[in-house]
């Protein structure tokens, strides 16, 4: 039977099974029944039909009482990387996925590059199941090589997607650009003490940023106040320390001590510059290091 021959409602349920297996790595019959409010017999028919269409995609674990993704899994449906990341980040479902039922570790999309959907799926599985991952990664400083990471979040930094993870090679939490990951393989076991999201102090630490229209580069500050929804001439936002540099670069915020950057691109000024003390990715914050 071809997918196009299956009625829409059942095709939705099959897509849900496919999505859960690909991004979570497992699902139960109860997950399907709860999501679509169907009876036990209908759910059994859906799983049987999925197995007939993709027999090598799942296996039932009697001990865990759940269906597991197999090593030979190949998605039955096409999951577009750009659309999937946007849906995950905004908790939007089109009825063909598990979004809304599962809290996925993805935040704030905008203009995206397009990473490999299978790499994304492996990383999401690792995060949801607290698994380490072996990756082949190409960095600007050391080229291509194998690494073991323990990921905890996937993030859009305004320019590209990256995964925030503990890097066992450097013994530190780092950002890894998704499009530079050539291969991702789930490893046995779980993360070790010190590798959890709560141990990532730059991630946990929240920084208040007070942004104002640039005092020298903006002739009519009211326009900037309207652009950013400022109140009393100031925009107050809170960001993770690990993300502060990305936001300041993306918005071209002048981070010098005396608002010394000139040019029409610098329309915002960071009023409370001292808040950045201790953040680690400030090399990309406009003017901050040059003025230290």
At residue 129, the 3 state secondary structure works out as: coil
- pLDDT, residue 113, reads 59
Q: pLDDT digits over 3-17, tens only?
A: 888 898 999 999 999
Q: How confident is the model over 24-29, as a mean pLDDT? A: 92
Q: pLDDT digits over 142-180, tens only?
A: 899 999 999 999 988 877 889 999 999 999 999 999 999
pLDDT bucket at 99, cuts 50 / 70 / 90: low
Exposed, middle or buried: residue 62 (CB in 10 Å: 0-12, 13-18, 19+)?
Answer: exposed
To the nearest whole percent, how much of the chain has pLDDT over 70?
89
- pLDDT, residue 131, reads 94
- pLDDT, residue 78, reads 84
Domains and CATH numbers, the chain: 3-69 (1.10.10), 81-196 (no CATH), 205-291 (no CATH)
Q: How far apart are CA 166 and CA 189, in angstroms?
A: 15
Asked whether the predicted pLDDT for residue 274 surpasses 80, the reply is: yes
H or E, element range at 163: strand 161-167
- pLDDT, residue 109, reads 45
- pLDDT, residue 160, reads 82
Q: How confident is the model over 276-281, as a mean pLDDT? A: 90
Q: How confident is the model over 115-121, as a mean pLDDT? A: 89
Q: pLDDT digits over 203-233, tens only?
A: 999 999 999 999 999 999 999 999 999 999 9
Tokens of 122: 């492996």
Q: pLDDT digits over 235-256, tens only?
A: 999 999 999 999 999 999 999 9
Asked whether the predicted pLDDT for residue 1 surpasses 80, the reply is: no
Asked whether the predicted pLDDT for residue 91 surpasses 80, the reply is: no
Q: How confident is the model over 11-34, as a mean pLDDT? A: 91
Burial 219-241 (b: 16+ CB within 10 A, else e): eeeeebbeebebeeeebeeebbb
Output the average pLDDT for the chain: 89
Q: How far apart are CA 170 and CA 9, in angstroms?
A: 48
- pLDDT, residue 163, reads 96
- The angle, 0 to 180 degrees and rounded to 10, between the axes of the packed helices 8-23 and 29-36 is 130
Q: pLDDT digits over 131-142, tens only?
A: 999 999 999 888
- pLDDT, residue 173, reads 97
């Amino acid at each position: 039977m071809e997918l196009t021959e299956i009625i829409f409602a059942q095709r939705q349920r099959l897509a849900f099974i496919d999505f859960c297996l690909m991004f979570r790595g497992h699902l139960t019959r109860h997950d399907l029944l709860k999501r679509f409010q169907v009876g036990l017999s209908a759910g059994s028919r859906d799983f049987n039909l999925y197995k007939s269409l993709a027999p090598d995609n799942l296996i039932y674990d009697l001990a865990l009482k759940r269906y597991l993704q197999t090593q030979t899994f190949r998605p039955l449906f096409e999951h577009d990387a750009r659309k999937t990341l946007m849906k995950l980040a905004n908790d939007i479902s089109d009825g063909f996925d598990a979004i809304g039922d599962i809290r996925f570790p993805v935040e704030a999309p905008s203009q995206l590059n397009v990473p490999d959907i299978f790499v994304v799926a492996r990383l999401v599985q690792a995060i949801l199941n607290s698994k380490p991952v072996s990756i082949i990664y190409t960095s600007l400083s050391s080229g291509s090589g194998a690494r073991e990471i323990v990921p905890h979040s996937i993030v859009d930094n305004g320019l590209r997607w990256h995964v925030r993870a503990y890097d066992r090679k450097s013994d530190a939490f780092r950002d890894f650009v998704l499009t530079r990951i050539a291969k991702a393989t789930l490893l046995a076991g779980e993360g070790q003490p010190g590798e959890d999201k709560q141990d990532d102090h730059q991630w946990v630490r929240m920084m208040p940023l007070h942004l104002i229209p640039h005092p020298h580069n903006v002739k009519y500050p009211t326009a900037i106040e309207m652009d950013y929804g400022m109140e009393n001439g100031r925009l107050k936002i809170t960001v993770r320390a690990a993300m502060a540099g990305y936001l300041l670069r993306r918005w071209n915020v002048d981070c010098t001590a005396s608002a010394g950057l000139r040019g029409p691109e610098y329309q915002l000024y960071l009023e409370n510059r001292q808040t950045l003390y201790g953040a680690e990715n400030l090399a990309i914050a406009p003017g901050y290091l040059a003025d230290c």
